[in-house]
Structure 1
Amino acid sequence: MENTDYNISNPPEEYDAIVVGSGISGGWAAKELTEKGLKTLVLERGRDVKHGEDYITEHMPPWEAEFRGQGNRKLFEEEYPMQLRSDVINEYNYHFFVNDKKHPYQTDDENPFLWVRGYQVGGRSLTWGRQTYRWSDLDFEANAREGIGVDWPIRYEDIEPWYDYVEEFVGISGQEEGLEHLPDSNFLPAMDLNCVEEEVKEKIENNFEYRHLTIGRCAVLTEPHKGRGACHYCGPCSRGCSVGAYFSSQSSTLPAARNTGNLTLRPNSIVHSIIYDRETNRAKGVRVIDRLTNESKEFYARVIFLNASALGSTQIMLNSTSDAFPNGIANSSGVLGHYLMDHHFRVGASGTFEGYEDRYYHGNRPNGIYIPRFRNINEQTEQEDFVRGYGFQGRASRPSWGRGTGMEGFGEEFKQKLRDPGPWSFGMTAFGEILPYEDNFVKLSADKENDWGIPQLEIHASIRENEENMREDMAETAVEMLEAAGGKDVSPYFGEYLVGEGIHEMGTARMGRDPKTSVLNAHNQTHDVPNLFVTDGACMTSAACQNPSLTYMALTARAVDYAVNELNKRNL
């Protein structure tokens, strides 16, 4: 039966559209729906964060921080253990990440899943790495070509104009390379490679066919764009960017939505479940619990977009049970919650580069180099031990006076050594694709709830032989490229990786052609409930090896266009 044990403290409110979540994809859904004339309610489970005003540590110097920037280790270890393990939080930004103690989830002791979250208006768009790469048909056709998972219901030609559309608004800096398997974007001027990166690029491309090095493609402005200022290389990106040089919901999509007069933003609103109307076979609205007061409320709309993050959206769907959908709304296929993916990493190499002692670089470039995938892209690069591939991110740099904390010495001579930068080094880390495995999955806990009475998520995921073989190759190719480029003392590294640590969780409500084996169709519309759409990472059918956020944005804009056209035709 439909869950009805709620005390609704206020009368329902009706909108044309509801968007759950205000991060990268939720901000895009809000912008597109409001600009198309729909009165839209955006529900965010976390606190409000106002652009600029609430970036409270943006340019805080270390001497003003309580722990001089090193952080309260006891606090982090007790209340932020998973966020700390991911190496993303520090004293300046931990207020943008969840307190694990207050927001627990269940996972395996042997293979724990590392769930990095940001519960606030803007979500993780305030702290993301901003790397933005298109996918190609090498990615969209991979499952069908190899008989893995299910076939994507779209191809590159379907999403290409929507990549164009979102890039024009976001502003992507980068360099055209003309690679078929990594299509170029519509670029703003590229950031410069430094002198050692230029040398490494030349040596790699001269020594290895199909291997290329380019500057990272990133959602950081190199010139003023759409009312936002250009990046001035200050460095503390994860604390918020008041000039809007990097793309976030706060700097870009939410202001655009507000300007229409059609946006209602409601923070501190935890969505419990979707309200399903069996007579019409439609999602009628959402049940919300106020995070601060624990009061319950219902909101109704003609169309609903779930953008609460891959696992957040799936948690809501699994918790939306009824006679029609006893295992979660739109889950007639039974695959909801399954095929969880991420990008595995923490494998690579580093080395030193002699010379160029008279050369340095300007500021803190918020971007590195990118070496696109070069394995399994054609017959010449086909591998026997693994399918799919990986790309490298990294940079060349010189340590400054801070290296003194690890050096021996004292006095004038010691200080004099630190006046000049240290030697050049180059490090690179690979990011590889994880295949969609049915038994990498999430489900609702049978006996544990959060503070708002919602079942906690139970998450089970691990990498397998294909990924382990790929990791061996990652280390080998990293070493051979740096050695070929003239690096000295080149050494590989194998760090421990936990699924989720890439912070690119995907899948669990995948797109597909067949309603019996997928949750969503080619337009991110649930097969079972026509007015319910999912356009965050949950929709992904495979993971590729490129950072996925640009694809989320394009899929969201495309899905909104489809949904509004269907509304106008009275099909929803």
Structure 2
Amino acid sequence: MYIKESKQEYDAIVIGSGITGGWAAKEFSEKGFKTLLVERGRVVEHRKDYVGEGIPPWEQPLRSKVSLAEVEQQYHVQKNCYAFNDSTKHFFGNDRDLPFETTKGTDFWWIRANQLGGKSLLWHRFSYRWSDFDFNANKLDGFGNDWPIRYQDLAHWYSYVERHVGICGQKESLPQLPDSEFLPPFDMTAPELHIKQRLEATFPDRKLIHGRQAHLTKPSAHHLAQGRGQCQARNECQKGCSFGAYFSTQSSTLPDAAKTGNLHIAPNSVVHSLIYDGISNRVKGVRVIDNEDLSQREYFGKVVFLCASTLGSTQILLNSRNKTFPNGLANRSGVLGHYLMDHNYNAWARAEIPGFEDAFYSGRRPGGLYVPNFYFKPDPKRPFLRGYGMSAGAYREDWKALQHKDGIGIAFKQQLQKPGKWQFWLGAQGEMLPRFENSVQLHAFKKDKWGIPQLEINCRFSENERLMMLDAAEQGQLMLEKIGLENVSSGQHDKPPGSGIHELGTARMGRDPKDSVLNGFNQSHDIPNLFVTDGASFCSSAVQNPSLTFMALTVRAVNYAVKEVAARRI
């Protein structure tokens, strides 16, 4: 299955093996296409290469910390990710070898995972459908171009993906958050059930619901046939899961693609650029540089799917410029590289929950609760456009809460053995408006170790996002106070774009080729056999996590491409 040199012309080439690339490889392979999956990083085998799995902190040299010297030399950006520690660092990109620039006065955290499976090994697994409120938003308020699709275009594909992935949650019938095909949710704790009742009674427009996640709480026969098992509620998912209980390329799409016999994988193959034939107006293949020895080779195929992540795919297109497309391949519109977005997590609120001293919980639930966007309808009275959702959850303090408090002797040791107070928290996830000036371009002279021009990123949150987070902190505080919680506090962070790890835009869809790179099937307006199905294709960010929509768009695009090939139009 793994190849290096190849003279074969493949039916489909998929670049990138993360969430979207894994799905594209699976769908093409199952439809009989001889498929080449090109991955710039190393091979990670399911179960075998989860080297940090099951190792407790006390058995690690620095109790799960990474040495300051190693962080400074290799992970000065990656360290900002919530999932980064000594048990997961091998799944993160090496900042020394993967440099990028930011425009003066801006900052950006580009979190990368360059290996087979990509960030599907590290993602937080929240999986929410988008609604027509999200797909209509640009058209209604004039920020960004109109999405060329609506919810009904994706509803079938959402269901198709969800049945395979396994999404736990509960039907809520909310207009702004369509229901999925659900496995049973994780249980709420007694305090969470109490807060849910009080919150929804006090604020009828605001619901506290189960977080919807790609976890197998009750595997179906289909999931068991994939070789996956039930979630053990260890909450150590980013180390890799040998149970296959959360969805990843390794646990789900890759095995299905491999068993067809139609899949080949070219690991350690850093894509330099796409090979374009101006006579036929087709992409003929890809130029790659070996990740290890820096040798060069080429692969050829009839259809090319870019699934290399938002910034990765755009970097490839920009570096594939030629006489026909001097500003980047498939960029007659001039918008390639523009309208970069992320989610804004810069507001929070928390409080103590009185009572419930006799209540606790079992296991470590790998996810929390969610307050869906209650600003989903436009309101001219609000000082900002769009809205935000809120992650939420309750927990009971344990011995770690005492590490910054005074104490000594037997009494203090005894106190360490007792659970503390119940706490509740809210964390905002705000929409970021698509703006032309938030952009990426190839650096004029700086290159990486493979000789590829570095990206220069110019991106900042606007006044709209600042006002949104101010409101989120205020509303969070109000909500917790009104339902009777104690010692309520709220505030804001100042994390830059990229910190949400939901990069979107830069090769957006659209109805008009003059202001977009792709059509409504993720197909290039300019080059018929070129598709981009990762976050680069997005016209807006909405407030929901985007990964489920990545998957639905990808399988829909493959289905379309297969039909177009059969009709001899590409």
Question: What TM-score, normalized to structure 1?
Answer: 0.97
In structure 2, what is the Cα distance between the partners aligned to 1:555 and 1:318?
Answer: 23
In structure 1, what is the Cα distance between the partners aligned to 2:57 and 2:383?
Answer: 48
Q: Which amino acid aligns with 2:83?
A: V
Query: Is residue 318–residue 328 contact of structure 2 (8 Å, CA) maintained in 1?
Result: yes
Deviation at 1:89, TM superposition (A): 1.0
Partner of 2:428: 430
Q: Which amino acid aligns with 1:550?
A: L
- 1:138-287 equivalences under 5 Å are 138-225=133-220, 226-227=223-224, 228-287=228-287
1:207-261 CA-to-partner distances (Å, cap 9, x unmatched) read 1131000010000110123121111111211101110010000000001100111
Partner of 1:417: 415
In structure 1, what is the Cα distance between the partners aligned to 2:125 and 2:43?
Answer: 22
In structure 2, what is the Cα distance between the partners aligned to 1:497 and 1:88?
Answer: 16
Choose from 526, 531, 534 the match for 2:532.
Answer: 534
Q: Which amino acid aligns with 1:509?
A: A
Q: Which amino acid aligns with 2:382?
A: E
Partner of 1:310: 310
Partner of 2:556: 558
Q: Which amino acid aligns with 1:178?
A: S
* Pairwise CA RMSD: 1.2
Partner of 1:476: 474
Query: Is residue 14–residue 37 contact of structure 2 (8 Å, CA) maintained in 1?
Result: yes
In structure 2, what is the Cα distance between the partners aligned to 1:181 and 1:40?
Answer: 37
In structure 1, what is the Cα distance between the partners aligned to 2:500 and 2:457?
Answer: 16
Partner of 2:521: 523
1:409-453 CA-to-partner distances (Å, cap 9, x unmatched) read 233211211222110001110000000000000000110000011
- Structure 2: gaps of 5 or more residues: none
Q: Which amino acid aligns with 2:439?
A: F
- What secondary structure sits across from 1:76 in the alignment? helix
Q: Which amino acid aligns with 1:236?
A: E
Choose from 123, 131, 149 the match for 1:128.
Answer: 123
Q: Which amino acid aligns with 2:390?
A: F
Deviation at 1:200, TM superposition (A): 1.3
- What secondary structure sits across from 1:344 in the alignment? coil
1:116-156 CA-to-partner distances (Å, cap 9, x unmatched) read 01001000000100000000010001111111211000001
Deviation at 1:511, TM superposition (A): 0.2
- What secondary structure sits across from 2:403 in the alignment? helix
Partner of 1:101: 96
In structure 1, what is the Cα distance between the partners aligned to 2:562 and 2:553?
Answer: 14
Query: Is residue 133–residue 376 contact of structure 2 (8 Å, CA) maintained in 1?
Result: no
Partner of 1:119: 114
In structure 2, what is the Cα distance between the partners aligned to 1:177 and 1:507?
Answer: 30
Partner of 1:49: 44
Choose from 27, 30, 34 the match for 1:35.
Answer: 30
Partner of 1:547: 545
Q: Which amino acid aligns with 1:351?
A: A
Residue 58 in 1 paired to residue 53 in 2? yes
- 1:367-378 equivalences under 5 Å are 367-377=367-377
In structure 1, what is the Cα distance between the partners aligned to 2:401 and 2:382?
Answer: 43
Query: Is residue 215–residue 368 contact of structure 1 (8 Å, CA) maintained in 2?
Result: yes
- 1:13-24 equivalences under 5 Å are 13-24=8-19
In structure 2, what is the Cα distance between the partners aligned to 1:68 and 1:467?
Answer: 37
Deviates more, 1:21-30 or 1:491-500: 491-500
Partner of 2:344: 344
Task: Give the number of aligned pairs.
Answer: 562
- What secondary structure sits across from 2:193 in the alignment? helix
Query: Is residue 389–residue 432 contact of structure 1 (8 Å, CA) maintained in 2?
Result: yes
Query: Is residue 184–residue 217 contact of structure 2 (8 Å, CA) maintained in 1?
Result: yes
Q: Which amino acid aligns with 1:250?
A: Q
Q: Which amino acid aligns with 1:174?
A: G
Deviation at 1:408, TM superposition (A): 2.1
Choose from 508, 527, 530 the match for 1:510.
Answer: 508
Partner of 2:456: 458
Stretches of 4+ moved more than 6 A in 1? none
Q: Which amino acid aligns with 1:54?
A: D
- Structure 1: gaps of 5 or more residues: 1-8
Residue 491 in 1 paired to residue 486 in 2? no
- What secondary structure sits across from 1:28 in the alignment? helix
Deviation at 1:375, TM superposition (A): 1.2
Query: Is residue 509–residue 518 contact of structure 1 (8 Å, CA) maintained in 2?
Result: yes
Query: Is residue 346–residue 469 contact of structure 2 (8 Å, CA) maintained in 1?
Result: no
